[in-house]
């Protein structure tokens, strides 16, 4: 499974990444960041369906086996290149014997993956705060019901289902305590593509976000209050950040 064509020049993108990140190994960044950071790609040449691959700047303890393949023996630019290879936008990324695409094609909301990895890193520590930030969602139901059964419509629905983020949110919302888990994901008034750059559309995204934050002011305040209290209680709290 894979798409090898791209709308944008992939060689130019790789050149930019090499210039910006050089050849720094991701495992060396842990000393600079003091947090556990990962990027998720999808390997598309392991069997019939894509599999998640986690580029980590940390290693799990011996005996702690993650459900997700991955590692830390990679360079920063490779992690960014692999996890940003969105089908149709950039070419897929061959790395060693694997072919990588944007992890969003199977894990558009990697929060559950982060929870799993965190439990392996700190098996005896309860979660203090889990924050999930969405990129916005657009309600297709506004258009009203459709009777279209075209192949294009079916493929579109299949992609939307595969890249849905709210299913993970619903699950974590049920499993984690309300004073631990928070998700912020603005409702958008326009449907935007990954490479949207029109000023009027970007302005509308800002308006939608501001309106969302205003409507959820009490929730934001509660999150900030809890986060500050947790940091005071656990000053050396560890952090996992997933993209």
Q: For the chain, give the mean pLDDT.
A: 84
State residue 17's pLDDT score. Answer: 95
| 5: pLDDT strictly greater than 90 | no
Task: Check residue 24 and give its pLDDT.
Answer: 80
Q: pLDDT tens digits for 175-189?
A: 898 889 999 999 999
pLDDT tens track for 41-80: 999 999 889 999 999 999 998 888 999 999 999 999 999 9
Report pLDDT for 34. 64
Pick the closest to residue 81 from 97, 95, 98, 71 (CA basis): 95
Average pLDDT over residues 20-26: 83
41: helix, strand or coil? strand
Of all residues in the chain, what percent carry a pLDDT higher than 90?
Answer: 53
Q: How confident is the model at residue 101 (pLDDT cuts 50, 70, 90)?
A: very high
Higher per-residue confidence, 162 vs 223: 223
Question: Residue 233 pLDDT > 80, yes or no?
Answer: no
Which range, of 16-25, 31-40, 129-138, 233-242, averages the lowest pLDDT? 233-242
DSSP H/E element including 77: helix 76-83
Cβ-contact 188, 208 below 8 angstroms: yes
Report phi then psi at 174, rounded to 5.
Answer: -80, -35
Cross-strand pairs, 181:
130
């Amino acid at each position: 499974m894979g798409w090898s064509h791209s709308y944008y020049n992939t060689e130019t993108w790789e050149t930019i990444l090499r210039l910006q990140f050089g050849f720094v190994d991701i495992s060396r960044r842990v000393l600079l960041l003091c947090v556990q950071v990962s990027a998720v790609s999808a390997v598309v040449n392991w069997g019939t369906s894509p599999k998640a691959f986690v580029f980590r700047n940390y290693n799990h303890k011996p005996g702690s086996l993650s459900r997700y393949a991955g590692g830390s023996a990679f360079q920063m630019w490779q992690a960014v290149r692999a996890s940003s290879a969105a089908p149709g936008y950039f070419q897929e990324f061959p790395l060693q014997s694997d072919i990588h695409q944007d992890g969003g094609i199977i894990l558009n909301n990697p929060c559950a993956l982060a929870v799993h990895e965190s439990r392996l890193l700190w098996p005896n520590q309860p979660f203090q705060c889990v924050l999930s930030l969405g990129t916005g969602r657009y309600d297709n139901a506004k258009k009203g019901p459709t009777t279209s059964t075209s192949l294009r419509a079916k493929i579109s629905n299949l992609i939307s289902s595969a890249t849905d983020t709210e299913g993970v949110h619903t699950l974590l919302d049920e499993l984690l305590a309300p004073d631990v888990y928070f998700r912020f994901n603005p409702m958008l008034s326009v449907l935007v593509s990954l490479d949207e750059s029109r000023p009027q559309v970007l302005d509308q995204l800002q308006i939608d976000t501001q309106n969302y934050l205003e409507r959820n002011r009490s929730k934001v305040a509660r999150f900030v209050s809890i986060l500050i209290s947790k940091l005071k209680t656990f000053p050396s709290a560890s952090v996992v950040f997933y993209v």
